[in-house]
A and B are shown apart, each in its own frame.
Chain A
Amino acid sequence: MELSRRKFLATTASAAGGATFASILANLRPLTAAETTQLTSTQDPTVKRWIWVIDLERCNGCMKCTEACTVEMRVPPAWGEPQYEGYQPWIQVFGTTDADQHAVFMPVPCQNCQNAPCVKVCPVGANYYSEDGIVLVDQLRCVGTRICLGACPYQRRFFNWFDPPVPEEEKSIPYSPDYNIPHRRGVVEKCIWCRHRVVDGKVPACVEACAKAGMKVLWFGDAAQDAVSDGEEVVSLSQMIRNRGAYRLKEDLGTDPRVIYLPPQGGSA
C-alpha cells in the first residue's frame, strides 16, 4: 500500500488518540460514595467553610454594622453618589414595609458566592478565592475594567473613582488582600468578611458591633463545624435555621452564596 505523508500522519495521529481514549475507557468503573467525595472535594477538612446567618426578625435598621465596617476597614468615600451617604456601603442596610406596615430591614454584605460571577469575569485574575472560600481582590493586580461591578448580581462591589484619603498612620500598614489597606485609586473594593479578623478567630467587625448593640442580627460561623457566633455566644447553625424558612438571595442564579437569611417570623419577606 502506498502511503502519502499526509495519510501516514493522519493515521498515526488518530491511532494515538484512539489508544489514549481506549486506555481511559478501560479504567472507567463505578465509584463508591467515599471515592467520589475524595475525587471531587478539594477541601481540606481543617479548612473553614465560613457562613453568615442574618436574622431579619431582629434587625431594626440601626446601621451599627455599616458604621463599624466603615471604621474597621477605613472604607473609602463613595464619590458623587449621594444615596450612599458618604462612604461605600460594603454592608448596606435596605429597608421596606411588609403587608402589615411593619418595617423590615435587610443588611446585605458581600454574599461570597461559591460560584462567584465576579471571579469568573476578571481578565487579569485579580479576583480569587482564598482557601477558606472568601472572594478577595488583589488590588495591586486589578486594572480597573470594572466588569466585575457589572457581573455582581448583588451590587456588592465598589470602585475608587478618585484617590481615597490616606491618613499618615495608614501609610505604614502593609497591604494584603486580607486587609486591603491602604486603599488606592482606580481599583475595585469589596467586603472581604474581615478576613484579617476571622483568621485570628474573631468575628467580623459588623457582627461584633451588632452584638454589642444588643441586636444579635448577624451571626458568623463555620458550616463545617455547624456553629455560628455573634462574638459573644456560639450556637448551632442547624438549630438556628431550623423551621425558619431560611433562604439565600437570588438563589435561582446559581451563584451559591454563603449568606443565609432568616425571614421575619409571622411577616412575609
Chain B
Amino acid sequence: MAEARDTTELLLDPLTRRSNRYYLLVCVLLAICCWGVYAYAVQVTSGIGVLGVRSEVMWGVYIVNFVFFIGISHVGALMSAILRLTGADWRKPITRLAEVVTFASLMAALTWPIAHLGRPDRWTNLLTLPKLQSPLLWDLICISTYTIGSTIFLYLPLIPDIAKCRDRLTNVSRFRRWIYSVLSLGWRGSESEMQYLERAIGIMTILIIPIAISVHTVVSWDFATQLRTGWNSTIFGPYFVAGALLSGVATVLLVMAALTKFDHLEALITRKHFDYIATLLLALDVILIYFTINEYMVPGYKILGQNTLEGQWLSSLLWGIYWPRFWFQILGGLILPAFILAVPKTRTITGYLVAALLIDIGMYIERFNIVVPSLAVPQLPYAWGQYSPTWVDISTTAASFAGVALVYIIFTRTFPIITIWETVDQSTDTGASPEPHPAHTRTLTSRSDSAVDSRRYFLRYGAMMAASFLLGSVSPSLANTMIRGVKKNSTDVTVPISNLGTSVSINDAKSMAKFQVAKPARIPRESVLDDVRVGNSGELVTLLYVNPTTPTIPMYAPEVGFAILEMADPKLDAPPTYLPNGFKRVKVNSNSGFARAPSDAEFDNRNEPGQLQWWQNGVHFVILANLSIEQLRQIAESMEPI
C-alpha cells in the first residue's frame, strides 16, 4: 500500500511543480502561436492569395496539416478502444497520454478547414446551407462526432482522478480547485459509481472505433471522389486509416519518451511499454508498406512511361520534380524505420525514437505527396501547377504544432497524465483483497468471463449505433424532402434586371398578364406610376414609379424611384427554404417573404437598393426601393388587385 501511495504522489507531483523551464517553454510556444495568429490575420485582411495556393494547386499545406493532425488523432481510439477490447492490459499507463494526443491534435485539425476557406466569415453556411452530396460535409459530420466522442472518452476515465486531485491537491490556486471540483462531478468512488463509469466506458469503447475509422476514411474521400489524376484510388480509405494509426503511434512513442524524461515516470512507463509500442509501430509500418505497394506499383505497371496524365503524374513522383520527397517518404519514412524497429541491435530507446521521428516526418511528406502533385498535373495540356509554401503557410503551420505542444503541456500540468485509478488503485485492490472488487468484474477485459459481456455489449451497442447512423444519414434528406417538396427547388431568387418586356398601359397589362395584377394603394408621397412593362409572355409585370423624394435605384435605365415586380413563375411559386445573405424574414399580410434594407458599399463592394420579396396567391412579388423595410412592408400590404 505504501508503494501505491508513492506512485500516486509521483503522479500528482508534476501538477504542483512549476519550474522556470516550464514557464520558459510555455512562453516560447505562446510566442510561436501569436506569430501564427498574426500571419493568419494578414491572410484574412489581405486575402487568401498570400498563401502559396493558386488555381491549379488550390490546396496546399493547410490541407496537408489537416490530414496529418486528423491522422495523429487516431491513436487515442486505437490505444484506448482497440487495445482495451483485445485485452492488452499493458496499455493502461499509456492510454491517457494517447488520448490527450488525440484531443490536442483534434483541436489543431479542426482549425484548418475553417482557416483555409476563401471566406472564413461565411463558414456558418456549412451549417445553415449544407448540401449532403458533398464529401466536405461528410467530413464536417464525422469530425464533429469524433471530436465530441473522443473528448467524452478522454473525460470519463479522468473523473476519478480529478476527484483525487480535488481531495489531495489543497494547496493549488483557487481557480484550479474550482476546476477540479466542477469537473469531478461530485465523484465519491462508491461501488455503484464505479459500475456506472465502467459501463459508460464500455459503451464509448464500442462507439469510438467505427467513428474513428469513418473519420479518416471520409477524409480520404475528399480526394478519392474527385476526377483527378492520382486520386482515382479505391484503397484510399484503408490507406489513410493505416497511415493515420502509424503516425499516431509514432507520436505517442515520442511523447512517452519526453514524459519519462521530464516527469520521471520510468517506474510506470517501462522498457516493456516501449518494446510493445515499437512492435505495434513495426506492424503498422509493414501494413503501410503493403498499402503503398498497392497504391503505386499496381497502377505503375500499367501507366508508367505512358504519355498520359496518369503516366506523367507517376513519373513526376518517381524521377520528376517530386522525386526527393517521394523517395524520402518511401525509404526514409517507411523502409528504414522498419529495419530500425526489426533489427535486434537497434531495438533501443534511441533507435525507437529515431524510427518514430522518421515515420512522423515521412507521414507528413506522404500527405504532401498525395495532395500537391495530383493537383499540379495539368488537366488540359498546359503548364504544370507550381506550389511553394509562403511565410504565412509556414508560420501558421508552426503555430499549429506549437499549439498542440502547448495544449499537451498544460494538460500534463493540470491533470494526471497516467490514470491513477486504473494503474494504482485497481492493481493494489486486487492484490490486497481475497475477492476481486465487484466493480472490476464489469471491466470489459480484465477477466476471461467478460468476453461474453463484451460480445453482448458489442452486439447491443453496435446495433444501436448502426441504427442511429442510418437515422442520422437518412433524416436530414427526409427533412429536406419534406420541407422543399420533391421537385427541385431553384436556388435562384435573383431579380430580373434585363428583359422586363414591352411598355404598355396599366389596363393592357391587366389583360396581357397571365395572373391577377395588383397595384399598391399606399405609395410614398409624390410618387407617380411612370411605366408598366409586361414581359416573359405575360408572366412578368413590372410597375416602375418615379419619386423625387427617395433616392433612385440605379439598376433600371431611365432611373426610377421604386419598382414593383410581379411574376407568375411556377419555378418560384414559394419562398426558397434558405434565406439569402443579408435578408431577414418578414410577413406581408400573413404571407411569408423576406426583406433587406438598402446597403451601402461595404465589404462586398455592393451598393444595392432595399428589397422585399413575398409570395401571394402563387405570384412572386418583389419591391425594390431605397426605403426602410417597414416602409416597403407598408407598400406591400396595400397591394390591391386592379
Please, how many angstroms separate the alpha-carbon atoms of A138 and B580 in the complex? 10
The tally of residues in A whose CB lies under 8 Å from a CB in B reads 67
Please, how many angstroms separate the alpha-carbon atoms of A92 and B257 in the complex? 56
Interface string of B110-136 (1 = CB under 8 A from A): 000100111100110110011101111
From DSSP, what is the main secondary structure of chain B's interface residues? loop
- Contact among A123, A161, A174 with B54 in the assembled complex (CB-CB below 8 Å): A161
Q: Which residues from A are CB-within-8-Å of B118? A: 142-146, 159-160, 185-188
Q: Are B134 and A147 in contact (CB under 8 A)?
A: yes
Once A80-B54, A155-B55, A174-B608 are accepted as A-B contacts, the answer to whether A121 and B226 lie under 8 Å apart by CB is yes
A150 interface residue (CB < 8 Å to B): yes
Residues facing A in B187-236 (CB within 8 A) are 222, 225-228
Once A142-B118, A143-B122 are accepted as A-B contacts, the answer to whether A161 and B492 lie under 8 Å apart by CB is no
A2 interface residue (CB < 8 Å to B): no
Interface string of A232-264 (1 = CB under 8 A from B): 000000000000000000000101000000000
A-B contact count (CB 8 A): 179
B492 to chain A, nearest CB (A): 7
Q: Are A145 and B492 in contact (CB under 8 A)?
A: no
Q: Are B604 and A184 in contact (CB under 8 A)?
A: yes
Q: Are A144 and B498 in contact (CB under 8 A)?
A: no
Once A166-B605, A174-B608 are accepted as A-B contacts, the answer to whether A81 and B55 lie under 8 Å apart by CB is yes
Q: Are A172 and B554 in contact (CB under 8 A)?
A: yes
A157 interface residue (CB < 8 Å to B): yes
Q: Which residues from B are CB-within-8-Å of A150? A: 58-59, 226, 228, 375
Q: Are B227 and A151 in contact (CB under 8 A)?
A: yes
Q: Are B126 and A149 in contact (CB under 8 A)?
A: no
Please, how many angstroms separate the alpha-carbon atoms of A184 and B605 in the complex? 7
Q: Are B55 and A157 in contact (CB under 8 A)?
A: yes
For chain B, give the interface size range: 35 or more
Which residue of the partner chain B has the closest CB to A78? B55
B584 to chain A, nearest CB (A): 15
A11 interface residue (CB < 8 Å to B): no
Q: Are B498 and A200 in contact (CB under 8 A)?
A: yes
Please, how many angstroms separate the alpha-carbon atoms of A125 and B375 in the complex? 23
Q: Are A177 and B494 in contact (CB under 8 A)?
A: yes
Please, how many angstroms separate the alpha-carbon atoms of A130 and B488 in the complex? 11
Q: Which residues from B are CB-within-8-Å of A212? A: none
B60 to chain A, nearest CB (A): 10
Interface string of B478-497 (1 = CB under 8 A from A): 00000000001011101101
Residues facing B in A194-251 (CB within 8 A) are 196, 199-200
Q: Are B497 and A186 in contact (CB under 8 A)?
A: no
Once A96-B381, A122-B131 are accepted as A-B contacts, the answer to whether A130 and B492 lie under 8 Å apart by CB is yes
Which residue of the partner chain A has the closest CB to B603? A184
Residues facing B in A100-152 (CB within 8 A) are 108, 117, 120-125, 128, 130-131, 136, 138, 140-147, 149-152
A98 interface residue (CB < 8 Å to B): no
Q: Are A187 and B119 in contact (CB under 8 A)?
A: yes
Q: Which residues from A are CB-within-8-Å of B56? A: 155
B175 interface residue (CB < 8 Å to A): no
Once A142-B119, A144-B118, A166-B605 are accepted as A-B contacts, the answer to whether A154 and B134 lie under 8 Å apart by CB is no
Q: Are B380 and A140 in contact (CB under 8 A)?
A: no
Q: Are B48 and A144 in contact (CB under 8 A)?
A: yes
Q: Are A121 and B495 in contact (CB under 8 A)?
A: no
Q: Are B227 and A117 in contact (CB under 8 A)?
A: yes
Q: Are B131 and A143 in contact (CB under 8 A)?
A: no
B283 interface residue (CB < 8 Å to A): no
Please, how many angstroms separate the alpha-carbon atoms of A79 and B117 in the complex? 17
B462 interface residue (CB < 8 Å to A): no
A87 interface residue (CB < 8 Å to B): no
Chain A residues within CB distance 8 Å of chain B: 42, 78-81, 83, 88, 92, 94, 96, 108, 117, 120-125, 128, 130-131, 136, 138, 140-147, 149-155, 157-163, 166, 170-179, 182, 184-188, 196, 199-200, 253, 255
Write 20 A-B pairs (CB below 8 A) sorted by A numbering: A108-B380, A122-B134, A123-B137, A140-B581, A141-B122, A143-B117, A149-B55, A149-B58, A150-B58, A150-B226, A150-B375, A155-B56, A159-B55, A161-B48, A166-B605, A171-B607, A172-B555, A174-B497, A200-B498, A253-B227
User: Which 9 pairs from chain A and chain B are nearest by CB?
Assistant: A144-B118, A161-B49, A186-B118, A162-B47, A123-B136, A123-B134, A125-B131, A172-B554, A149-B58
Q: A123-B136, A144-B118, A151-B227 are in contact. List 11 more A-B contacts (CB 8 A).
A: A121-B134, A123-B134, A128-B492, A136-B492, A144-B48, A150-B375, A161-B49, A161-B53, A162-B49, A174-B609, A182-B606
